[in-house]
């Protein structure tokens, strides 16, 4: 033990203001507000927080450009300093691009137009106290009209294969390693569709393999591949003109419209897992439609109707690309390129959206959107990232 001197953020003096602000956030997740309330009320209540550290790295403690007497050699605590960079990064962007201050102040100062900005934060639950108490205390204590967060989405912990991720033990798969194995969309889909919202979740290689193979490769990737390859082989590289939509197509459009409403609502409510589940269900109904419509059989007896089925299916790929972009943006981009479209308008009018690609519009067959993970690959990765060191 040794004595040292630190600067403290006087959070206690702002407790009532912080509590009133937190109480006003009726739509915040229970996880977020319960953590904030625990820090406000447990034991002796909210405590002042040390905001300096005796470290060799970090932002030096100064008063402007001058030394801070008694604080020589100290740096600011990262969770005091880093959130300020949320604002500063925007100012740095404006400066680097020759923009006036009003361009970044528009987002961050309520006296400069930020009153109509909706500001979201996403984080693990261990960072909630810094963003519900310390950073807001810094903002409120400044006495200036800085924008406070509107919605703070917090998550529980993601564990790894029966334990915890550990950088020191080399246990877990980390970003650079993950991207050397598979593209980002594979990981984005698993992480978002298994987001630890209501409880901790666990990454296992078996679950990851099943999710990639069943959700991405079998459901979405297979539909895009089947439709585009069949369409080219039977009708050429443009959207066919024949036939009319019938009862099957009308049923699909109606079902799709209802599900998009649910999907949009889950997204607006930040219900990430529910949104992912609804998106997968939207992919599934497209596959079910194809199985029922069976254009590969219909083309033998009614080529005109087969053209209508293919026309709808090609438009479905475009709609899927738009809906899927928040979760798998690279695959969504590949799908849009395949159908020759850059119109990302959200399909509020699903009937019109399913007719967006007109007859004669060109399309291509994309490379496989997703490849399956083999048992051998999964076993190899599981062994490599087990945390066993030699």
pLDDT tens, position by position, 201-255: 999 999 999 999 999 999 999 999 999 999 999 999 999 999 999 999 999 999 9
Any domain includes 126: yes
Any domain includes 3: no
- Please provide residue 362's backbone torsions phi and psi, each rounded to the nearest 5 degrees: -80, 150
Does residue 259 share a domain with residue 329?
yes
How far apart CA 108 and CA 101 sit, in angstroms, is 11
Q: Please name every residue paired with 120 in a beta bridge, in sequence order, or none if there are none.
A: 151
Residue reference for tokens 């953020």: 9
In 3D space, the residue among 51, 53, 49 whose CA is nearest the CA of residue 11 turns out to be 49
Three-state SS for 361?
coil
Q: What is the mean pLDDT of residues 192-201?
A: 95
CA distances from 52 to 58, 66, 67, 78 (A): 10, 17, 14, 9
Token representation of residue 177: 């390693």
Summary count for the chain: helices (H), strands (E): 18, 10
Token representation of residue 94: 């404006």
Which are the contacts of 387, defined by CB distance < 8 A and separation ≥ 6? 166, 169, 170, 171, 172
Is this prediction's pTM over 0.95?
A: no
CATH label of the domain that carries residue 316: 1.10.730.10
Token representation of residue 219: 């459901």
pLDDT of residue 390: 35
pLDDT tens-digit profile of 22-31? Answer: 999 999 999 9
How far apart CA 189 and CA 38 sit, in angstroms, is 33
pLDDT tens-digit profile of 298-344? Answer: 999 999 999 999 999 999 999 999 999 999 999 999 999 999 999 99
Q: What is the mean pLDDT of residues 248-274?
A: 97
Token representation of residue 176: 């650079």
Any domain includes 1: no
Strands 8-9 and 201-203: unpaired
pLDDT of residue 387: 63
Find the radius of gyration of the CA atoms of the chain: 26
Q: What is the mean pLDDT of residues 176-187?
A: 95
**Residue 32 belongs to domain spanning:** 8-155
In 3D space, the residue among 247, 251, 260, 244 whose CA is nearest the CA of residue 326 turns out to be 260
- Residue that terminates a domain, selected from 134, 155, 176: 155
Please count the structural domains in the chain.
2
Does residue 333 share a domain with residue 288?
yes
């Amino acid at each position: 033990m040794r004595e040292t001197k630190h600067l403290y953020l006087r959070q206690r003096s702002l407790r009532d203001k912080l509590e009133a602000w937190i109480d006003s956030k009726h739509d915040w997740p229970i996880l977020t507000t319960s953590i904030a309330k625990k820090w406000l009320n447990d034991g002796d209540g909210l405590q002042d927080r040390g905001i300096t550290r005796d470290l060799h790295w970090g932002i030096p403690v100064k008063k402007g450009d001058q030394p801070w007497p008694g604080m020589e050699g100290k740096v600011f605590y990262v969770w005091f300093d880093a959130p300020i960079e949320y604002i500063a990064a925007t100012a740095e962007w404006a400066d680097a691009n020759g923009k006036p201050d009003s361009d970044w102040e528009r987002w961050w100062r309520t006296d400069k137009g930020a009153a109509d900005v909706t500001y979201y934060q996403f984080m693990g639950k261990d960072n909630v106290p810094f963003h519900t108490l310390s950073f807001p205390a810094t903002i409120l204590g400044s006495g200036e009209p800085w924008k406070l967060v509107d919605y703070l989405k917090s998550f529980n912990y993601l564990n790894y294969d029966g334990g915890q991720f550990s950088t020191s033990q080399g246990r877990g798969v980390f970003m650079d390693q993950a991207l050397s194995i598979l593209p980002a969309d594979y990981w984005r889909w698993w992480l978002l569709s298994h987001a630890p919202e209501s409880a901790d979740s666990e990454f296992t290689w078996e679950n990851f393999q099943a999710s990639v193979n069943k959700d991405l490769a079998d459901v979405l990737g297979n539909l895009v591949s089947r439709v585009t390859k069949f369409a080219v082989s039977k009708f050429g590289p443009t959207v066919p003109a024949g036939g009319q939509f019938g009862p099957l197509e009308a049923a699909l459009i109606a079902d799709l419209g209802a599900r998009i409403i649910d999907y949009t609502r889950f997204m607006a409510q930040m219900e990430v897992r529910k949104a992912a589940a609804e998106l997968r269900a939207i992919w599934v109904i497209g596959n079910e439609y194809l199985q029922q419509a069976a254009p590969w059989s219909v083309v033998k007896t009614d080529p005109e109707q087969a053209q209508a089925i293919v026309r709808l299916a090609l438009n479905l790929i475009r709609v899927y690309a738009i809906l899927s972009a928040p979760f798998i943006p690279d695959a969504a981009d590949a799908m849009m390129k395949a159908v020759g479209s850059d119109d990302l308008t959200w399909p509020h009018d699903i009937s019109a959206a399913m007719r967006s690609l007109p007859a004669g519009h060109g399309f291509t067959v994309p490379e496989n959107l997703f490849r399956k993970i083999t048992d051998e690959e999964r076993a190899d990765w599981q062994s490599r990232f087990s945390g066993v060191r030699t």
